[in-house]
């Protein structure tokens, strides 16, 4: 008898991703969040991945610590017309995952401060070129 990987509930995944996003936007570690609500950082990791469901009381404690209303964790989650949860497209998921990283947050904060549309377009062109290079061959950095 083989062990099947537990299916992750889309609501738990969405809530966990929102917890992670908010925690990272505040510059907090999983350990700091865990300590504030009486858990281990491993439990917070499981919550953020959607592997474990967050109880109502723990979600409330997280909301207090992260200074958001509980409803924040459900923002952006829309049930589909057939009652099934709406899942993000691969592109939307990629953007969401990126914005949940430290680098993503820094870029999202810094990019709009760059003066001039031409400069921002040039940076976008550079990132596109580097992402193609990353798929094809290593990029050689010049010093």
Residues spanned by the domain of 116:
101-143
Any domain includes 94 = no
Same domain, 67 and 6: yes
Residue recorded with tokens 């914005």: 99
Same domain, 108 and 77: no
Same domain, 38 and 66: yes
Same domain, 1 and 61: yes
Residue 77 phi, psi (nearest 5)? -95, 120
Beta strands in the chain (DSSP E): none
Same domain, 62 and 123: no
Tell me the pTM.
0.61
Pairwise CA distance, residues 47 & 54, whole Å? 6
Pairwise CA distance, residues 119 & 128, whole Å? 14
Same domain, 65 and 107: no
CATH of the domain at 24: 1.10.260.40
CB 15 within 8 A of CB 50: yes
> Which of 69, 65, 54 lies closest to 17, judged by CA?
54
Same domain, 78 and 129: no
Any domain includes 49 = yes
Per-residue pLDDT of the chain (143 residues; tens, 9 = 90+): 333 345 778 889 889 989 998 998 888 999 999 999 999 999 999 999 888 999 999 999 999 999 999 999 998 887 653 445 555 567 667 777 777 677 887 887 788 888 989 998 999 899 889 888 655 555 455 55
């Amino acid at each position: 008898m083989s062990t099947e990987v537990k299916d992750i509930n889309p609501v738990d995944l969405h809530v966990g991703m929102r917890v992670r996003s908010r925690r990272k936007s505040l510059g907090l570690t999983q350990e700091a969040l865990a300590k504030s609500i009486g858990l281990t950082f491993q439990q917070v990791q499981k919550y953020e991945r959607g592997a474990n469901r967050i109880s109502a009381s723990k979600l409330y404690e997280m909301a207090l610590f992260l200074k958001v209303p509980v409803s924040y964790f459900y923002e952006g989650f829309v049930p589909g017309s057939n009652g099934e949860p709406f899942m993000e497209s691969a592109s939307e998921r990629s953007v969401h995952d990126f914005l949940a990283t430290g680098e993503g947050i820094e870029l999202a904060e810094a990019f709009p401060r760059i003066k001039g549309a031409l400069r921002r377009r040039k940076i976008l062109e550079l990132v596109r070129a580097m992402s193609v290079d990353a798929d094809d061959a290593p990029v050689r950095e010049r010093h």
